[in-house]
């Protein structure tokens, strides 16, 4: 933490947040859904982290809106209780040994709770006084069924109207529609009451340092640039595997499935960052344009290139995981997939003939989000390993979680009179290089939204292009109504996913011997 800032403040609020070089502009964050999990678990811890590092301005306010009847003090106390709970759980997403009383007071003194319905114009009207003459970001931490109505209400009472020097923005999280048609309708709806530049479509994967670093890795190092090409790369794998089952989210998940839940959003964001051409700058439009080119280049995915699986009862470590169909909120004959693997081809000069294999699922043997860039074999194999195998081709493994960092696998001569080679690994680990900082993954997203920097957020056409790419698979699955292939919880997924790669003479990187 840098040294505390002691600004003279016109208000009676404490002003002890430490100074950052570029704090966000003055303004109010209005959270719709202030009583919910997203607010408690992610948004407020992220605000606390931002306050700790001085990225919030002195004239910052948070207004929490929810139906629940409670006072500001009660709301603030419940937020604090959740933060405190994190200090007792080393495995929590946000872990810190101690909450700084001074910083918490700084933040808490800027918070107000309003009990009201976010779809009642009459009640929402009363927020006008809270944000009169101020910049404001409205964060929709509410169930998606309320998205359209709440935004219409905000617009109706004039809360989204910008004036010279005053911004009004909307942050909205996935699920952004459930297919191409619904995403298109939601976009049209939002754009009928506000400008594209006011909308910040959040994909929480882009809040992860390791995901943001993909741009830096690719475009601040000349090293990778010439190799990042069909001439040198055999194929790329993107994995987002979870040991978690659907836990308490059965009803949501059964109507969603692994493909909708993870692919056109999180996995495609990774795909875009890995496959995109260098943007002309890091500003929002060049980055979004470069991503759009990737989405537009995805060749329609045929059902033969899409695997679906569903977990049955099994064991993960010392935990017994019940079959998906026995989870609360899930139909006993559900055919919803809890796992999907896809082969994706991009019709571009850079990537023609280089398949991208994507897989994601729940109830698997390990929780790991990872990219494997598998390079081609050398034109001629001069060397062998000790057991007579040809030299393995180089591999670059980028770990998004849990072991954040990257491994470059290459060959070296094993010391000794014989000329044998062995694979060695050059390793980068975030913690070793940068130390460990509490980071919930929403800090940068909130800060950028307040700053008006939209590079990490999706444009309407990005969202629709991603849905367009998976639409043929969704339609084919809805039509054939085939049950997914079963896999045992705690395993590496269905056999069909292995066959998808075996067909091309390839195999997935290991899942279950990666460090947890």
Note whether 49 binds ligand BG6 by CB under 6 A: no
Q: What is the 3-state secondary structure (H, E, C) of 38-104?
A: HHHHHHHHHHHHHHHCCCCCCCEEEEEEECCCCCHHHHHHHHHHHHHHHHCCCCCCCCCCCCCHHHH
User: Binding site annotation covers 69?
Assistant: no
Query: Cβ-closest residue to ligand BG6?
Result: 261
What binding mask, one character per residue, do residues 410-429 give for ligand BG6 by CB under 6 A, x or -? --------------------
Is 40 catalytic? The answer is: no
- Can you name the residues that pair with 235 across neighbouring β-strands? 374
CA distance 81 to 78: 5
Q: Which is nearer to ligand BG6, 369 or 458 (CB)?
A: 369
Q: How far is the CB of 336 from ligand BG6 (least distance, A)?
A: 12
Count the neighbouring beta carbons within 10 Å of the beta carbon of residue 481.
7
- Flag whether 499 is marked binding: no
User: Is 261 marked within a binding site?
Assistant: yes
| Residue ranges in 106-165 that form contacts with ligand BG6 under rule CB under 6 A | none
Q: Are 403 and 515 in contact (CB under 8 A)?
A: yes
- Smallest distance, Å, CB 244 to ligand BG6? 6
To ligand BG6, the closest distance from the beta carbon of 77 in angstroms equals: 27
Torsion of CA 33, 34, 39, 45, to 10 degrees: 160
174 annotated to a ligand binding site:
yes
Applying CB under 6 A, the site for ligand BG6 has a residue count of 3
Establish if 448 lies at the interface with ligand BG6 (CB under 6 A).
no
209-240: b or e for each residue (b if 16 or more CB lie within 10 Å)?
Answer: ebbbbbbebbeeeeeeeeebeeeebbbbbbbb
Q: Round to whole Å and give the CA distance between 47 and 43.
A: 6
Give min distance, CB of 242 to ligand BG6, in A.
6
Backbone angles phi, psi at 178, to 5 degrees: -120, -5
**How far apart, in Å, are the Cα atoms of 417 and each of 368, 413, 423?**
40, 10, 18
The answer to whether residues 110 and 13 touch, using CB atoms and an 8 Å cutoff, is yes
Q: Mind spelling out the 3-state secondary structure of 189-248?
A: HHHHHCCHHHEEEECHHHHCHHHHHHHHHHHCCCCCHHHCCCCCEEEEEEEEECCCCCCC
Closer residue to ligand BG6 (CB): 76 or 246:
246
Q: Which is nearer to ligand BG6, 14 or 509 (CB)?
A: 509
At its nearest, how many Å lie between ligand BG6 and the CB of residue 415?
41
Residue 21 vs 90, nearer CB to ligand BG6: 90
**Smallest distance from ligand BG6 to CB 248, Å:** 12
Task: Show the binding pattern over residues 195-234: x = contacts ligand BG6 (CB under 6 A), - = does not.
Answer: ----------------------------------------
Q: Which is nearer to ligand BG6, 61 or 266 (CB)?
A: 266
Q: How far is the CB of 204 from ligand BG6 (least distance, A)?
A: 6
Is 345 one of the binding residues for ligand BG6 (CB under 6 A)?
no
Nearer to ligand BG6, 23 or 207 (CB): 207
Query: Is 404 labelled a binding residue?
Result: no
The dihedral over CA atoms of 118, 122, 123, 127, expressed in degrees to the nearest 10, equals 90
Q: Which residues contact 396 (CB under 8 A, 6 or more apart)?
A: 372, 373, 375, 406, 407, 408, 409
Q: Quick check: 261 binds ligand BG6 (CB under 6 A)?
A: yes
Tell me: is residue 362 an annotated ligand-binding position: yes
Place of tokens 């606390």: 48
Check 40, 91, 235, 266 and give the catalytic one: 266
Nearest one of 385, 444, 408 to 49, comparing CA atoms: 444
What's the rounded Cα separation, in Å, for the pair 348 and 81?
51
Under the binding rule (CB under 6 A), the answer on residue 369 touching ligand BG6 is: yes
| Shortest Cβ 101–ligand BG6 spacing (Å) | 29
Contact 287, 455 (CB under 8 A): yes
Q: In the β-sheet with 60-66, what is the strand arrangement from edge to edge?
A: 111-115, 60-66, 27-32, 136-140, 168-173, 199-202
Q: Does 391 bind ligand BG6 (CB under 6 A)?
A: no
Site mask for ligand BG6 (CB under 6 A), range 308-337, x = bound? ------------------------------
Distance separating alpha carbons of residues 460 and 334, to the nearest angstrom: 32
For ligand BG6, the closer of residues 27 and 493 by Cβ is 493
Residue 242 engages ligand BG6 in binding (rule: CB under 6 A)? yes
Indicate whether 443 belongs to the interface with ligand BG6 (CB under 6 A): no
User: Which residues does the annotation place in the binding site for NADP(+)?
Assistant: 174
Q: Which positions are catalytic?
A: 266
Footprint on this chain of ligand BG6 (rule: CB under 6 A)? 242, 261, 369
User: Which residues does the annotation place in the binding site for substrate?
Assistant: 204, 208, 242, 261, 362
User: Which residues does the annotation place in the binding site?
Assistant: 174, 204, 208, 242, 261, 362
């Amino acid at each position: 933490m840098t040294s505390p800032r002691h600004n003279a403040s016109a208000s009676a609020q404490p002003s002890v947040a430490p100074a950052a070089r570029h704090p966000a502009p003055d303004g109010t964050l209005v959270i719709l859904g202030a009583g919910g999990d997203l607010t408690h678990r992610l948004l407020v811890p992220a605000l606390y982290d931002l306050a700790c590092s001085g990225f919030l301005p002195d004239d910052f306010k948070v207004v929490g809106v929810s139906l629940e009847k409670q006072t500001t003090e009660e709301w603030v106390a419940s937020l604090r209780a959740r933060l405190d709970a994190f200090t007792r759980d080393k495995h929590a997403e946000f872990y810190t040994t101690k909450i700084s009383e001074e910083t918490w007071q700084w933040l808490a003194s800027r918070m107000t709770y309003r009990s009201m319905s976010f779809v009642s114009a009459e009640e929402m009207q009363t927020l006008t006084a809270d944000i009169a003459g101020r910049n404001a970001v409205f964060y929709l931490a509410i169930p998606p069924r309320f998205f359209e109505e709440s935004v219409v209400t905000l617009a109706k009472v004039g809360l989204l109207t910008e004036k010279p020097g005053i911004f009004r923005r909307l942050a909205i999280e996935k699920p952004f529609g459930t297919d191409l048609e619904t995403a298109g309708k939601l976009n049209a709806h939002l754009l009928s009451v506000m400008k594209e530049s006011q909308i910040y479509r959040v994909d929480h994967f882009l809040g992860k340092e390791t995901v943001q670093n993909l741009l830096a890795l690719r475009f601040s190092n000349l090293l990778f640039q010439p190799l990042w090409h069909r001439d040198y790369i055999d194929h790329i794998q993107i994995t987002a595997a979870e040991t978690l089952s659907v836990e308490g989210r059965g009803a949501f998940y059964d109507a969603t499935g692994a493909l909708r839940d993870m692919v056109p959003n999180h996995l495609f964001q990774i795909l875009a960052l890995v496959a995109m051409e260098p943007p002309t700058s890091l500003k929002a439009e060049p980055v979004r344009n470069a991503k759009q080119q990737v989405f537009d280049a995805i060749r329609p995915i045929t059902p033969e290139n899409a695997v679906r699986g569903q977990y049955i009862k099994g064991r993960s470590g010392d935990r017994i995981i019940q079959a998906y169909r026995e989870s609360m909120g899930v139909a006993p004959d559900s055919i919803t997939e809890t796992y999907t693997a896809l082969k994706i081809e991009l019709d571009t000069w850079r990537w023609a003939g280089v398949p991208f294999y994507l897989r994601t699922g729940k109830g698997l043997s390990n929780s790991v989000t990872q990219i494997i860039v598998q390079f081609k074999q050398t034109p001629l194999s001069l060397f062998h390993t000790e057991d007579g195998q040809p030299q393995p081709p180089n591999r670059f493994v980028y770990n998004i979680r849990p072991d954040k960092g990257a491994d470059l696998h290459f060959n070296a001569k094993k010391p000794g009179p014989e000329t044998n080679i062995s694979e060695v690994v050059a390793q980068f680990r975030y913690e070793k290089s940068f130390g460990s900082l509490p980071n919930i993954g929403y800090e940068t997203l909130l800060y950028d939204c307040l700053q008006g920097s939209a590079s990490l957020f999706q444009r309407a056409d990005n969202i629709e292009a991603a849905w367009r790419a998976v639409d043929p698979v969704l339609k084919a699955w809805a039509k054939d109504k085939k049950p997914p292939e079963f896999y045992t919880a705690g395993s590496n997924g269905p056999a069909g996913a292995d066959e998808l790669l075996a067909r091309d003479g390839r195999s997935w990187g290991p899942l279950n011997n990666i460090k947890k």
